[in-house]
Structures are given as C-alpha cells and as structure tokens.
Amino acid sequence: MTTALITGSTAGIGAAFARRLAADGYSLVLVARDKERLRRQATELHDRHGVEATVLRADLATDAGIAAVERRLADVRQPVDLLVNNAGFGHKGRFLDVPLADELTMLKVHCEAVLRLTVAAAKPMRERGRGGIVNVASVAAFLPRGTYGASKAWVVQFTQGVARDLAGSGVRLMALCPGFVRTEFHERAGMGTGNIPKWMWLDADKLVTAALADLARGRTLSIPDPRYKALMGAARLAPRGLLGGISSRAGRKYGPAHGEDGAMGELPDGVAESGDGMGDAGAGPDRTKKSAPKVKGATGAEPTTGPEPAAEPEPARTPEPAPKSKPAAKPKPAPRTKAAPDSSVE
C-alpha cells in the first residue's frame, strides 16, 4: 500500500491533501503540533476511508522536530511514497516591525525543514526508483514581499533545481504555488481578510485535485488556477518597482497570499504515534500562547541540559562565623596586618 507523509496536516491545504489521499487509498503519516487535532483527524480519516493513519507530532521550527520526521522518512521498513512539505506560517507588518526571531523561525520552517525533509525522502525514493515530493510554496514567490516571499521563492527555485537533478530517477518533485485559500492561516497570523475580493479565494480541495494532476503530468511548478496564472503572467511583465510597491501595500493589508496551515497549535497528548515521533506540530511561533521556548522536541524532552546541576549546597553560608568574629576582635588592626605577609600572599 502506498504511503503519504503530510506536514501541517491538520488544517487548510494540508488537511485537503489528507482527505484526498485517504480517499485515493493512501496510508497516511500526519505531522503537526496539535496532538489532539491529529488524533481526531486520524480517527476521522480511518473511519471514513478505512485507511491506516498514524500520527507524528513534531515542531518543524526545532532541530529535534525536523529530525523526528527525517527518521520516519528514512525508515526502509515503512517507505513513504509521497511527501507533502506543507507546514508553514505567515506574519504581517513592515520588515523592522516583525521580531527577528520570527523571521529566523520562518526561514527554519520554510527553507531548512523543506531542504532536510526533501533530502530524507528523496534518497530512499531514488533507491526504489519511484516517489513524489510536493513542496508547498506560494504565488508570493513571484512578488517582492520580504522574508515570506523570499522563503517561498527559495522553495520554488530549490524544488525545480532538484527536480532537474533527479530527472530520470523515477522521483518527481513539484513546487505548488497557491493564492488565497480559506484556512486558519490568516487568522493565526492576525491578518484581516474582509477586504480580499471574493474572486481571489480558492477552494482547498479543488486546489489539491489540480495539484496532484500536475504532479502526475510531471510538472515541476503548479499554479493550479487560471486566475492566478494570469496574475502571475502579468506580474512577470510589470515593472519591478511598481510591482514591489503594490506587493508591499497588499502584504501589509492582507498578509501572505495563501496558507499552508498546520503551523501552529496547542500541544496536548495521545494517539497512535508513528515511530519515535513526539515533537510538537507543524511549525512557527505560536501567538496563541507564549510557550515557544518550552516546545518539546522530537523525543518529547528538550536536549538535556541536565537536571540543573544541583546548585551547590553552599554549606559555608549557614553559620557564617567569619563576619561575627570580626566585630568581636576589637584588638586593633595592627596585629592583623602583620599576619598578612607571612600567610598566603607568597
């Protein structure tokens, strides 16, 4: 039976991939941070489609979380036939208004995680002579739009470059570039969507159907909607300066165009886990509660800095005889100064 691993699987585009692939008979490995939602999703997909759905909780903003998914992808006993790198997040605001830590986390999730998971999946796929990898980017990749757009442009360039290198190996790679999709993505990033024209919204299920058709055709880039294909065609012809101004204003107003989702979530417990996966879901700075530093890695425990090296018992402090003897010894400082030369000074 064929198996697909989907990061950021609990909402939006990731959830649409999970629904479609389950309907097609794939066994699923669902990766996200919210364990409770993963449990519900796995149960629902199993009950509805009769497929095996296992859960791997992992935070792709951490090395431990990425490593947990790498190990699952490299497991030759349970080969993965299709990888969907979908986890991600967005934020709005001018460049210097966004915390640097958030920008670095974005690069970790959108670039480093995609790179490492692509390598982990592609190696065994090439050995078997078959497999597919979908890296979810965005139409923002074609617009000058700060770190988000730059990270998605990297995903497109990286994916198409690797696809050329693996041509003829039986492994297909494709960058998927959606536009605005109704997901939790914008809400989580604090972005208003009321002013986005209705015609710009895409249906996640239709988008996934078109994307999988493009992958089957061997395409390395998928913009699965004629409206966005036309917009991106116009963007290529527009003067770069004009395009940058429009993109910057639109980005501050609407935020990134599309949502990978599965990026943020609470971290409860439970569900049939895949392998050693225990990290904490999808990726990105969780703005719902400020517990990012506490995120447990793929092993469920932070890289042991040890049980706080038993802050030495400080035995000398309790009696503190030295200070008390000083006031009692009133016999003039002269004799003390004589003792100093023949003590530890030499």
What is the rounded CA–CA span in Å between residue 117 and residue 120?
Answer: 5
Q: Which of 26, 148, 228, 254 is catalytic?
A: 148
DSSP 8-state symbol, 209? H
- Residue 345: DSSP 8-state: T
148 included as an active-site residue: yes
As a whole number of Å, the end-to-end CA separation of the chain is 80
- Spell out a b/e string for 101-114, using b for 16 or more CB atoms within 10 Å of the CB, else e: ebbebbebbbbebb
Residue 30 DSSP SS3: strand
Question: Three-state DSSP class for 57?
Answer: strand
DSSP 3-state of 177: coil
CA gap 178, 258 in Å, rounded? 6
Annotated catalytic residues are 148
